[in-house]
Structure 1
């Protein structure tokens, strides 16, 4: 199954998970003055975008240097996606009392909240499967980051409008969809590997 612009955008949105990141951003920005929060969020989204974009353009070279095949990346990406999806469905208990004393920079918001291992593996996988459509994947990533920026800037309004329970329900639904995507990727990788053995 090849990805289209729409399916790649949806996959990237599921992985970057802007709705699920609302509590993480809210917690990390507690120590930041309200008038600076929008600027900090947009800066972190931009950093994540630049990092993911860099992986899109140097990822295939990185694979060659590390002597890794597209198939190994696909299977590894499926495993990472599966683990991330499980955390979305069964989130670990997070201590809400850990308020950062300084303004967050890069960690933990840009990395790993937005540009985590699964997002990095996914952009590399998209490019390795169809390098001739690289600009299409760049466009999908751009749309994804714009949506993330809008959702996170409006995070407080979204939480008030939907309530924490509905946000959590969306998070778990996205996790369930991501589990299915991860299993499909894993099965495709296994079928390809089995085909190479014959």
Structure 2
């Protein structure tokens, strides 16, 4: 499954889900002064960016050390994407109640809200499958983080203008697209596995 800069950017945006993270960030930052919130949002995004970028550079070594094949990563990544997509389409009742008493650091905003298991698996898959396009994947990740920063910094304005129902509807729509992406990833992995068994 070959990706381009555009398709990789769209995939990363669907997985990091900045629209779906709006209520998570809003609840986690309730007790934080308004003037402090933009700094925390940018800090958490930079932490998530650093983690995902690290995985892009150590991905091949990580797979070799763990003894994992690209095929296993593709099938496993498809399963994780499918589970994440289901949570986007059918969110648990208490999924957005992440109100903290203290200022959040790394958890739960940078990890797993932005750089969750599905995002980490995706950057590993991109680099292991098409390592010659690493610069494109880095650029796609940069665009993804910039979009996430813009959306999350304007979260209160977005919620006020379009309303929480539209935000929820948009997240579920992105979830449906991600279901299709995850199924395509799974089917390609299974077909490759079957062809290897018969060869």
Structure 1 residue runs of 5 or longer lacking an equivalent are none
Distance 1:147 1:69, change over 3 A: same
Q: CA deviation at 1:96?
A: 6.6
* Structure 2 residue 9 is matched with structure 1 residue 9: yes
Aligned residues: 198
Cα separation, 1, equivalents of 2:187 and 2:97: 41
Q: Secondary structure at the match of 1:113?
A: helix
**Alignment-derived partner of residue 54 in structure 1:** 54
Cα separation, 1, equivalents of 2:134 and 2:95: 40
Deviations 1:155-184 (A, max 9, x none): 000001110111000000000000000000
Distance 1:75 1:36, change over 3 A: same
**Alignment-derived partner of residue 112 in structure 1:** 112
Q: Which aligned pairs between 1:38-77 and structure 2 lie closer than 5 A?
A: 38-77=38-77
Q: Which aligned pairs between 1:152-171 and structure 2 lie closer than 5 A?
A: 152-171=152-171
Q: CA deviation at 1:195?
A: 1.1
Q: CA deviation at 1:99?
A: 2.8
Cα separation, 1, equivalents of 2:97 and 2:66: 41
Cα separation, 1, equivalents of 2:98 and 2:57: 37
Cα separation, 2, equivalents of 1:97 and 1:124: 30
Structure 2 residue runs of 5 or longer lacking an equivalent are none
TM-score by length of 2: 0.97
Cα separation, 1, equivalents of 2:99 and 2:4: 41
Deviations 1:3-45 (A, max 9, x none): 0000000000000000000000000000110000000000000
RMSD: 1.0
Deviations 1:39-86 (A, max 9, x none): 000000000000000000001100000000000000000000000000
**Does the Cα contact within 8 Å between 2:24 and 2:97 map onto a contact in 1?**
no
TM-score by length of 1: 0.98
Cα separation, 2, equivalents of 1:169 and 1:15: 16
Q: CA deviation at 1:100?
A: 1.1
